């Protein structure tokens, strides 16, 4: 059964004037002690010591190696460790129970034993049951699980997330060139003035049916996918709107929602598609229940060093919209909580034991599907900040896999909540400057 996403309220803005002074810096500017020597005409040398403010970018070395990353502290076990499928697991198909269910469609999942690539099909229930009975390599036959978008209340602040992470301070090193990002969401308004020419229209995958180019349309009521994509890909220095956090990366939109509704099996198929088209990192600002097809798709991505970044989940009326939220709860996914402009835990961001890091997610300004701009809040808005940072990491170390990326992000995060790891912000707020400085090679 499909369920509608609870629509967020948005504030539509026809034009945005950005000011550097309006965005608070993520931390006080670094200081360094400099010794100045002055020689007079009488050859007398006097030495004075002064304290000079140094912009963070001056401290960043562009020669880095993230493959040396190790986590400062071990993260707790993922919430779903007992449910994670392994190569030795055997799936028992209860065809009798499924035959008696009211489901009109069922999802059949097979996995290629040589490549690990999942083959996922959403079929009419009677057809799926017939195939499952006839084939001996079916991993799972399941009822569809709804997917939800993880955006919430609107805000009224200007763009601040880029400064909070420190993206500008590593622009001289990389802005994502050479990296390929896939955004699995509600699609994108490909003709938006701040995205035109910056995003590839990948397929839409709705009810298991792939339509080429369908990712270039966003019919979601809150322009969710266009908003998320703009945080990553909005064109810089074009005189309009906002700026993306990884503007030089190649970005492909894959749509898995029709309006406000989606299915987790379509998300799984989209992950497989993203891997197959050569994505380096995938943004998943969606969440829902676990399915075998989703687990198989996540494992396929990890085996191919494609890093998945997912929104951890939101609270609605004080309760989690999904508990736990997948794919964020899977161990091969970077799970992202949300923090505010003042570096505190966002009150809508879920408290859970599978968090990795936090990122800006409260009152985030980005592109909308109507060629304007609006604010949204949610872990959906936090995830693309991390996705963009991972894209920049992959642009300098293309072979990075999930383990090195997680270790690098968590070991350099800025602790903003309880000391050490906590269940509200994970290891802390992602910090691009510390990330680049920690893993510089000279």
Pick the catalytic residue from 163, 169, 223, 224: 224
Cα–Cα distance measured from residue 389 to residue 56, given in angstroms and rounded to the nearest whole number? 17
Q: What is the largest CA-CA distance in the chain?
A: 101
Cα–Cα distance measured from residue 255 to residue 284, given in angstroms and rounded to the nearest whole number? 11
Cα–Cα distance measured from residue 376 to residue 370, given in angstroms and rounded to the nearest whole number? 15
Asked if omega into 324 is within 30° of 0 (cis), the reply is: yes
Cα–Cα distance measured from residue 384 to residue 197, given in angstroms and rounded to the nearest whole number? 19
**Which residues lie below 8 Å from residue 395, measured CB to CB, with a gap of 6+?**
174, 176, 177, 178, 179, 248, 249
Q: Is 297 helix (H, G, I), strand (E, B) or coil?
A: helix
Pick the catalytic residue from 168, 169, 185, 280: 185
Whether 244 contacts 135, CB under 8 Å:
no
Cα–Cα distance measured from residue 237 to residue 85, given in angstroms and rounded to the nearest whole number? 46
Whether 327 contacts 284, CB under 8 Å:
yes
Cα–Cα distance measured from residue 359 to residue 428, given in angstroms and rounded to the nearest whole number? 8
Q: Tokens for 268, please give them.
A: 């799984």
Whether 266 contacts 205, CB under 8 Å:
yes
431 φ/ψ sector (left φ>0, alpha ψ -120 to 50, else beta): beta
Asked if omega into 341 is within 30° of 0 (cis), the reply is: no
Cα–Cα distance measured from residue 375 to residue 367, given in angstroms and rounded to the nearest whole number? 9
Annotation says 224 is catalytic: yes
Cα–Cα distance measured from residue 427 to residue 275, given in angstroms and rounded to the nearest whole number? 28
HEC assignment per residue over 121-161: EEEEHHHHHHHHHHCCCEEEEECCCEEEECCCCCCCCCCCH
Annotation says 380 is catalytic: yes
Pick the catalytic residue from 293, 362, 368, 380: 380
The β-bridge partners of 75 are none
Annotation says 374 is catalytic: no
- CA dihedral defined by 141, 274, 326, 436, rounded to 10 degrees? 150
**Phi, psi (rounded to 5 degrees) for 162:** -65, -40
Question: Quick count: other Cβ atoms within 10 Å of Cβ 14?
Answer: 8
Catalytically active residues are 185, 224, 380
């Amino acid at each position: 059964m499909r369920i509608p996403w609870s629509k967020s309220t948005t504030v539509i803005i026809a034009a945005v004037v950005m000011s550097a002074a309006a965005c608070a810096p993520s931390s006080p500017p670094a200081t360094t002690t400099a010794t100045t020597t002055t020689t007079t005409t009488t050859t007398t040398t006097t030495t004075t010591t002064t304290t000079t403010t140094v912009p963070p970018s001056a401290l960043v070395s562009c020669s880095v190696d993230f493959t040396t990353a190790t986590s400062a502290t071990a993260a707790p076990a993922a919430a779903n460790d007992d449910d994670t499928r392994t190569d030795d697991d055997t799936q028992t198909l209860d065809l009798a129970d499924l035959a008696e269910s009211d489901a009109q469609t069922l999802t059949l999942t097979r996995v290629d034993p040589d490549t690990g690539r999942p083959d996922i099909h959403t079929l009419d229930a009677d057809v799926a049951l017939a195939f499952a009975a006839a084939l001996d390599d079916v991993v799972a036959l399941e009822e569809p699980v709804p997917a939800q978008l993880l955006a919430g209340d609107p805000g009224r602040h200007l763009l601040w997330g880029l400064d909070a992470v420190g993206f500008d301070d590593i622009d001289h090193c990389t802005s994502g060139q050479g990296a390929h990002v896939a955004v699995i969401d509600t699609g994108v308004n490909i003709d938006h003035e701040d995205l035109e020419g910056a995003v590839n229209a990948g397929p839409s995958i709705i009810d298991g049916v792939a339509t080429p180019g369908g990712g270039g349309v966003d019919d979601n009521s809150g322009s969710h996918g266009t908003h998320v994509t703009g945080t990553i890909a909005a064109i810089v220095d074009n005189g309009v709107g906002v700026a993306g956090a990884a503007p030089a990366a190649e970005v492909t939109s894959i749509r898995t929602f029709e309006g406000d509704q989606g299915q987790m099996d379509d998300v799984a198929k989209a992950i497989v598609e993203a891997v197959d088209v050569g994505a380096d990192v995938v943004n998943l600002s969606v969440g829902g229940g676990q399915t075998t097809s989703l687990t198989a798709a996540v494992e396929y991505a990890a085996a191919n060093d494609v890093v998945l970044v997912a929104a951890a989940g939101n609270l609605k009326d004080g309760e989690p919209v999904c508990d736990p939220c997948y794919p964020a709860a899977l161990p091969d996914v970077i799970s992202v909580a949300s923090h505010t402009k003042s570096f505190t835990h966002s009150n809508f961001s879920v408290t859970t034991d599978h968090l990795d890091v936090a990122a800006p997610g409260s009152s985030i300004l980005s592109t909308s599907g109507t060629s304007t701009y609006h604010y949204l809040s949610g872990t959906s808005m936090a995830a693309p900040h991390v996705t963009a940072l991972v894209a920049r990491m992959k642009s300098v170390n293309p072979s990075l896999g999930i383990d090195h990326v997680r270790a690098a992000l968590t070991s350099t995060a800025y602790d903003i909540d309880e000391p050490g790891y906590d269940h509200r912000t994970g290891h802390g707020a992602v910090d691009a400057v510390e990330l680049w400085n920690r893993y510089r090679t000279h």
